[in-house]
């Protein structure tokens, strides 16, 4: 093996965010940028010598180049083996599964998830630990430290390998096993869900539309929904992963998956619609004329998971991120399950799952998953819903209506203000912080504020503390406003405003969420002083 030790200097700003390091693709393509960070990953985990890693990404622009660089660097750092999806492709949940299945030392996943891809869009990289989950804050902090003192990196000088060819290749002294990215993941799904029941429901006439948004889930959805479950060819649309996602914004929400929404709200809509994001870990669930909010989806899954064979013995406990609505809490209470509230980002669920405290987790940002892997999992959620539909022999709208009748409804919405000046967005929050102490007892629009604080999480498993995880204002009736800045964007700041109001029923369960939330929305505007701070009160994206 011919190892070059390349002199370099620290590059400013290599700080991992909510889910790894995300930057403009052009930034990643700058000299030494990717190499510095990959070396920082290896340094942060105590080196790569003797280790085995899974490597793959969502296929976005620069994925192919980055995989070759990572393999040469892993080899030069002494790794013994890499497992790579064919073509350098792996969905995030499939990568998590492969890390666990092969008992490897971790994996490097290339994705900027729901952010658009292409030479002028976004790229990202993150490290997952041997449990299959995203590196915790203690490890990402070490990555930043290593990046900030980077002076040299090691890389094997050799040719690219042919990642289209299945089988074993050599990169220096490291062996690279190129595998089918779909097969093991699809097999895992068969162990969790009742494929026979779903197949029978499809044969019996349930019509499905799955929008892969020209991103990584296309091949997975084709294999599982069409090949293994017998849905007609064409069930999966936008099925070909493309480096720029066909110019689409691969974020499965009503705004960016508009074509799917139009079909599901149009005449002769399919019985079930779903979409996934760039790297396959998010999901959106839609029925005919029925949009299921991710927080409600989590609650419905908690209430019905026992209908799927992998969860027939019941759940161990549930967890949701703090901004996610409390709908799942109500199910947990009724079923006597522990319910945990964590900061935003999947990395906070890992310890709870590893310790056997929870088996179902979810976020309001279209993320749902279980302890079958250590990432959220888009197709898993789709299959869970199909399993529930098949077993209950009811439609999406009926299931939602019954759920709301039983538990009441947590009206919920997230308003995103994008492309803000970072200093102004930070000023809005620090101003809010200064006024929070005086808020309890304050009356606004006839509602009384019960508490106002900044969410701080103490991990119940390892005791680690994460500060500053979102500003929350809670009203006497449990209605909430939560605000935080996004940690996944690449330009300026995005302010996320999360809004929630609970209606116990039986009346008032069928309102438009924006109408039901109107007083909370207006309170959020007033209390944050957003007009003065950011010069506007209308969000860019409402989900
Ligand atoms: C967003 C979501 C968060 C999610 C994260 C990664 O983070 O809010 O819930 O875990 O994206 O998802 P932020 O910091 O921008 O709010 V993915 O599918 O981009 O890996
Ligand atoms: Co994602």
Ligand nearest to the Cα of 278, by number? 2
Q: In the 3-class helix/strand/coil scheme, how is 244-260 assigned residue by residue?
A: CHHHCCCCCCCCCCHHH
CA 192 to chain CA mean position, Å: 20
**In this structure, are 356 and 417 located in the same domain?**
no
The pocket around ligand 1, CB under 6 angstroms, is made up of: 18-19, 113-114, 277, 281-282, 321, 344-346, 363, 365, 367, 486-488, 496
Q: Please spell the DSSP secondary structure of 177-231, one letter per residue.
A: EEE-TTHHHHHHHHHHS-HHHHHHHHHTT--EEEE-TTSTHHHHHIIIIIIIT-P
pLDDT of residue 103: 98
Residues of the chain predicted below pLDDT 70: none
Same domain, 352 and 289: yes
Across 216-227, b (16+ Cβ under 10 Å) vs e yields bbbbbbbbbbbe
| Nearest ligand (C-alpha, residue 18) | 1
Identify which of 213, 322, 323, 488 to mutate to test ligand 1's pocket (most ligand atoms within 8 A of the CB): 488
Same structural domain, 166 and 206: no
Name every residue whose Cβ is closer than 8 Å to that of residue 208 and which is 6 or more positions away in sequence: 202, 225, 231, 235, 270, 271, 272, 273, 274, 386
Number of Cβ atoms within 10 Å of the Cβ of 230: 14
DSSP string, 248-300: -----STTTTHHHHHHHTSTT--SEEEEE-TTS-BEEEEETTEEEPHHHHHHH
Question: Domain check: are 112 and 43 in the same one?
Answer: yes
Residue range of the domain that includes 121? 3-180
Last residue of a domain, one of 180, 201, 232: 180
Considering the domain architecture, whether residues 199 and 159 belong to the same structural domain is answered as no
> At CA 434, angle to CA 481 and CA 496, rounded to 5?
35
User: 45, 187 in Cβ contact below 8 A?
Assistant: no
Cα of 346 vs centre of ligand 1, distance in Å, is 8
Residues 211, 358 within the same domain: yes
What is the spatial distance between Cα 102 and Cα 55, in angstroms, rounded to a whole number?
A: 13
- The total number of residues shown for the chain amounts to 543
Q: Could you tell me the two tokens for 346?
A: 């999947």
Mark which of 389, 407, 425 sits at the end of a domain: 407
CATH number (domain holding residue 244): 3.40.120.10
The answer to whether the bond into 506 is cis (omega within 30° of 0) is yes
| The predicted structure's pLDDT at residue 491 | 83
pLDDT one-digit tens code per residue, 82-106: 999 999 999 999 999 999 999 999 9
* Measured CA distances, 1 to 157, 165, 370, 407 (Å): 8, 22, 41, 63
Residue 443: CB atoms within 10 A of its CB come to 10
* Angle 10-12-14 from CA coordinates, rounded to 5°: 90
CB 15 within 8 A of CB 144: yes
Based on the structure, what is the number of domains in the chain?
3
Pair (14, 33) in one structural domain: yes
Residues 87 and 117 in one domain: yes
Residues annotated catalytic, as ranges:
113
Domain of 426, CATH number, reads 3.30.310.50
Domain match, 164 and 248 both: no
Residue 283: which of 387, 185, 413, 381 has the closest Cα? 381
225 and 76 assigned to the same domain: no
What residue's CA is closest to ligand 1, atom 1? 488
Give the ligand 1 atom nearest the CA of 321: 9
**Confidence at residue 505, expressed as pLDDT on a 0 to 100 scale:** 85
CA of 86 relative to ligand 2 center, distance in Å: 20
pLDDT of residue 488: 83
Instruction: Among 373, 407, 441, give the residue marking a domain's end.
Output: 407
Question: What is the secondary structure of 294-354 as a DSSP string?
Answer: HHHHHHHHHHHGGGSGGGTT--SEEEEETTS-THHHHHHHHHT-EEEEE-SSGGGTHHHHH
| Residue position matching structure tokens 């180049």 | 65
Pick the atom of ligand 1 nearest to 496's CA: 16
Q: Could you give the 3-state DSSP secondary structure of residue 367? A: strand
Model pLDDT, residue 215? 95
Same structural domain for residues 417 and 389? no
Structural Rg of the chain based on CA atoms: 23
Compute the distance from residue 486 Cα to the ligand 1 centre, in Å: 8
Are 166 and 287 in a shared domain? no
pLDDT at 489: 80
State residue 460's pLDDT score: 96
Taking the centre of ligand 1 as the mean of its atom positions, its distance from the CA of residue 122, in whole angstroms, is 14
Question: How far is the centre of ligand 1, averaged over its atoms, from the C-alpha of 73 (Å)?
Answer: 28
CA distance 126 to 220: 22
Residue nearest to atom 20 of ligand 1 (CA): 113
Whole-prediction pTM = 0.94
pLDDT of residue 248: 86
The predicted pLDDT at position 1 comes to 83
CB 57 within 8 A of CB 111: yes
Shortest-distance Cα residue to atom 17 of ligand 1? 113
Dmax (CA) for the chain in angstroms is 72
Residue 69: what pLDDT?
98
């Amino acid at each position: 093996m011919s190892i070059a030790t390349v002199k370099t200097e620290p590059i400013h700003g290599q700080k991992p965010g909510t889910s790894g390091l995300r930057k403009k693709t052009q930034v990643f393509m700058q000299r030494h940028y990717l190499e510095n960070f990959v070396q920082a990953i290896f340094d942060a985990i105590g080196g790569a010598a003797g280790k085995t890693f899974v490597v793959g990404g969502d296929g976005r622009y620069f994925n192919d180049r980055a995989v070759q660089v990572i393999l040469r660097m892993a080899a030069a750092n002494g790794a013994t083996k890499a497992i790579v999806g064919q073509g350098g492709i792996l969905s995030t949940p499939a990568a998590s599964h492969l890390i666990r299945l092969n008992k490897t030392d971790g994996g490097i996943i290339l994705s900027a998830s729901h952010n658009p891809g292409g030479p002028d869009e976004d790229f990202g990289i993150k490290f997952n630990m041997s449990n299959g989950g995203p590196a915790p804050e203690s490890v990402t902090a070490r990555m930043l430290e290593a990046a900030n003192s980077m002076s040299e990196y090691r890389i094997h000088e050799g040719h690219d390998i042919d990642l289209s060819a299945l089988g074993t290749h050599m990169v220096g002294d490291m062996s690279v096993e190129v595998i089918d990215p779909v097969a093991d993941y699809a097999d895992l799904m068969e162990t969790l869900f009742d494929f026979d029941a779903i197949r029978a429901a499809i044969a019996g006439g349930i019509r499905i539309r799955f929008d892969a948004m020209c991103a990584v889930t296309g091949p997975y959805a084709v294999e599982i929904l069409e090949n293994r479950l017998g849905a007609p060819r064409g069930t999966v649309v936008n099925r070909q992963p493309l480096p720029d996602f066909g110019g689409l914004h691969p974020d499965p929400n009503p705004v960016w998956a508009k074509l799917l929404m139009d079909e599901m709200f149009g005449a002769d809509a399919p019985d079930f619609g779903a979409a996934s994001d760039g790297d396959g870990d998010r999901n959106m669930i839609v029925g005919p004329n029925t949009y299921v909010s991710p927080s409600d989806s989590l609650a419905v899954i908690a209430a019905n998971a026992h209908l799927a064979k992998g969860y027939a013995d019941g759940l161990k406990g549930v967890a949701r991120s703090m901004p996610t609505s409390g709908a799942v809490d109500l199910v947990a209470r009724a079923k006597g399950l522990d319910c945990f509230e964590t900061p935003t980002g999947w990395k906070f669920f890992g310890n709870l799952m590893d310790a056997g405290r929870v088996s179902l987790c979810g976020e309001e940002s279209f993320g749902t998953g279980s302890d079958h892997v250590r990432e959220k999992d888009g197709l898993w959620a789709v299959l869970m819903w199909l399993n529930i539909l098949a077993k209950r022999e009811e439609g999406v709208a009926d299931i939602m209506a019954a759920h709301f009748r039983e538990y009441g409804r947590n009206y919920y919405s997230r308003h995103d203000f994008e492309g803000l000046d970072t200093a102004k967005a930070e000023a809005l929050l620090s101003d809010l912080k200064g006024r929070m102490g005086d808020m309890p007892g304050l009356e606004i629009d006839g509602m009384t504020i019960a508490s106002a604080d900044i969410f701080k999480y103490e991990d119940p498993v390892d005791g680690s503390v994460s500060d500053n995880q979102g500003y929350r204002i809670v009203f006497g009736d449990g209605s909430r406003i939560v605000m935080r800045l996004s940690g996944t964007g690449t330009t300026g700041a995005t302010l996320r405003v999360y809004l929630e109001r609970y209606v116990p029923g039986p009346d008032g369960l069928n309102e438009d969420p924006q109408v039901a939330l109107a007083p909370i929305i207006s309170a959020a505007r007033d209390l944050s002083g957003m007009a003065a701070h950011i010069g506007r009160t209308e969000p860019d994206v409402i989900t």
